[in-house]
């Protein structure tokens, strides 16, 4: 006899001690006494057995349907999560492609720029005063450095430079480039870096012209001299500068001398130069002149003996003026129109009229400027004058000061002798 028979409903194995099937709950014992020759009892048993089997299968189907519904819910959630991950992946792929395109564009830009440079550093080109400087510049490759030996280089017409180039002389007293053509002695435009070092550029004509005119270029100018600029007296303001910067020009001008021009250095349009340690003297209008929307920084420059202004800022220009010396002009530093910017730590002394003059709606920020021993006011601003620092000598109204001294000595004389 089998000690562990199977349930007739679900075929689950059960032990003889169990009354009901643990799987389908079919009553296993004591419900029926099966007699083989009793047909009615046998039919009843089989009918209830089939009903129990059907109920068991229905319960199994219901359970499987619940599982199927749960799987469908999980499938929908997994599908939604998958779509979200796919969207994030698409966004990251698009961002990556955008970054890749930008990098490719930068590589193309660098490749194009490198294509204009020589494949290997070329030796400096040496030119003597007996050679044709204009031809040497035209024949020089992009990025070349031309060494000018000591002497005077006369130009029959304005020398135009439209490629990256360096001109180096033997010193401002030794190497001179001289021109007489209208416009400029050197006219620099185009793209790339332009260097000018250790030489003088002199204009000796009578038509309106500047010594050097730079338009939309990056420049690096050191230890040069610019002289002879002539302006148009009819008011068109053509020419006249020792060094004129136009357009989007930017760069550094350091340790240079600008004298005997209409303006020593003129910054116009939207230029943003850095002017450091330059000497601007004996110019007919201003040592350093800013106009239009020019910006930039001017540090430690000396403007001495210019006829009208040491430094002049007009229109919408807004430069930063730091630690400059302006002396022996009519006005030390002047602002007009809607000019702005700032002036910090500048020294304006021994000027014939005002140390600092602010006209119209100009609104610069003035901090710690020194204004001593000037003929009129330390700071004059649109019909009102004021102190630039708390000292009597901040405002040098010369004839009033002398009158007070005379009155003081007369009083002392009267007290002593009468």
| Per-residue pLDDT tens over the stretch 191-208 | 889 999 999 999 999 999
CA 72 to chain centre: 58
110 has pLDDT over 80: no
- Give the whole-angstrom CA distance, residue 81 versus residue 76: 9
If DSSP states are collapsed to H, E and C, what string results for 116-180?
A: CCCCCCCCCEEECCCCCHHHHHHHCCCCEEEEECCEEEEECCCEEECCCEEEECCCCCCEEEEEC
- Give the whole-angstrom CA distance, residue 271 versus residue 273: 6
pLDDT value of residue 158 = 94
**What percent of the chain has pLDDT above 90?**
54
235 has pLDDT over 50: no
269 has pLDDT over 70: yes
pLDDT value of residue 384 = 42
**What percent of the chain has pLDDT above 70?**
84
Count of C-beta atoms within a 10 Å radius of residue 113: 12
**Residues 15, 18, 22: CA angle, nearest 5 degrees:** 90
Residue 79 Cα distances to 66, 73, 75, 82, 342, angstroms: 20, 10, 6, 5, 63
33 has pLDDT over 50: no
Q: How confident is the model at residue 63 (pLDDT cuts 50, 70, 90)?
A: confident
- Give the whole-angstrom CA distance, residue 100 versus residue 106: 10
Write b or e for each residue in 264-285: b if 16 or more Cβ atoms lie within 10 A of its Cβ, otherwise e: bbbbbebbbbebbebbbbbbbb
187 has pLDDT over 60: yes
In 3-state terms, what secondary structure has residue 194?
strand
- Give the whole-angstrom CA distance, residue 155 versus residue 199: 15
Beta strands in 268-351 (DSSP E): 272-276, 279-281, 286-290, 297-299, 302-304, 309-313, 320-322, 325-327, 331-335, 342-344, 347-349
Q: Which of 100-104, 109-113, 269-273, 326-330 has the least mean pLDDT?
A: 109-113
Q: How confident is the model at residue 402 (pLDDT cuts 50, 70, 90)?
A: low
State the Rg of the chain over Cα. 47
- Give the whole-angstrom CA distance, residue 174 versus residue 83: 77
Residue given tokens 């021109």 in the structure block: 179
Secondary structure letter of residue 312 according to DSSP: E
- Give the whole-angstrom CA distance, residue 189 versus residue 194: 9
Q: Which of 123-127, 148-152, 272-276 has the least mean pLDDT?
A: 123-127
pLDDT value of residue 121 = 52
Count of C-beta atoms within a 10 Å radius of residue 46: 11
Q: How confident is the model at residue 234 (pLDDT cuts 50, 70, 90)?
A: low
pLDDT value of residue 308 = 95
116 has pLDDT over 70: no
pLDDT value of residue 236 = 46
Q: How confident is the model at residue 34 (pLDDT cuts 50, 70, 90)?
A: very low
311 has pLDDT over 60: yes
77 has pLDDT over 70: yes
Q: Which of 27-31, 81-85, 109-113, 362-366 has the least mean pLDDT?
A: 27-31
Sign of CA dihedral 215, 310, 199, 219: negative
DSSP string, 210-230: EEEEEES-EEEEEEEEEE--B
Mean pLDDT score, 178-183: 93
């Amino acid at each position: 006899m089998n000690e562990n028979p199977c349930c007739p409903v679900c075929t689950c194995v059960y032990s003889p001690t169990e009354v009901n099937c643990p799987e389908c709950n079919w009553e296993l014992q004591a419900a029926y006494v099966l007699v083989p020759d009793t047909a009615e009892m046998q039919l009843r048993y089989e009918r209830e057995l089939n009903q129990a089997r059907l109920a068991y299968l229905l319960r199994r189907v219901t359970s499987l349907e619940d599982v199927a519904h749960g799987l469908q819910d999980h499938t929908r959630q997994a599908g939604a999560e998958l779509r979200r991950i796919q969207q994030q992946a698409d966004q990251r792929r698009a961002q990556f492609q955008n970054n890749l395109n930008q990098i490719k564009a930068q590589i193309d830009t660098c490749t194009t720029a490198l294509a204009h440079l020589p494949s290997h550093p070329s030796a400096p080109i040496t030119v003597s005063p007996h050679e044709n400087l204009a031809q040497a510049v035209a024949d020089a490759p992009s990025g070349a450095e031309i060494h000018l030996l000591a002497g005077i280089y006369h130009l029959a017409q304005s020398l135009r430079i439209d490629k990256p180039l360096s001109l180096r002389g033997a010193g401002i007293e030794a190497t001179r480039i001289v021109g007489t053509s209208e416009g400029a002695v050197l006219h620099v435009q185009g793209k790339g870096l332009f260097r000018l070092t250790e030489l003088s550029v002199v204009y000796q004509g009578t038509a309106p012209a500047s010594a050097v005119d730079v338009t939309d270029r990056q420049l690096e100018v050191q230890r040069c001299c610019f002289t002879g600029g002539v302006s148009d007296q009819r008011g068109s303001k053509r020419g006249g500068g020792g060094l004129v910067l136009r357009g989007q020009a930017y760069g550094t001008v350091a340790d240079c001398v600008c004298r005997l021009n209409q303006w020593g250095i003129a910054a116009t349009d939207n230029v943003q130069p850095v002017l450091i340690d330059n000497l601007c003297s004996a110019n007919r209008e201003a040592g350093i002149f800013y106009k239009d929307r020019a910006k930039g920084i001017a540090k430690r420059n000396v403007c001495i003996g210019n006829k009208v202004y040491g430094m002049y800022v007009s229109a919408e220009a807004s430069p930063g003026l730091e630690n400059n010396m302006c002396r022996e002009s009519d006005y030390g530093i002047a602002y007009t129109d809607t000019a702005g910017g700032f002036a910090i730590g500048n020294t304006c002394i021994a000027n014939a009229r005002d140390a600092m003059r602010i006209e119209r709606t100009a609104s610069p920020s003035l901090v710690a400027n020194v204004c001593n021993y000037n003929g009129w006011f330390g700071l004059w601003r649109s019909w009102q004058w004021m102190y630039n620092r708390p000292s009597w000598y901040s405002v040098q109204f010369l004839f009033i000061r002398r009158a007070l001294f005379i009155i003081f000595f007369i009083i002392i004389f009267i007290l002593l002798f009468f």
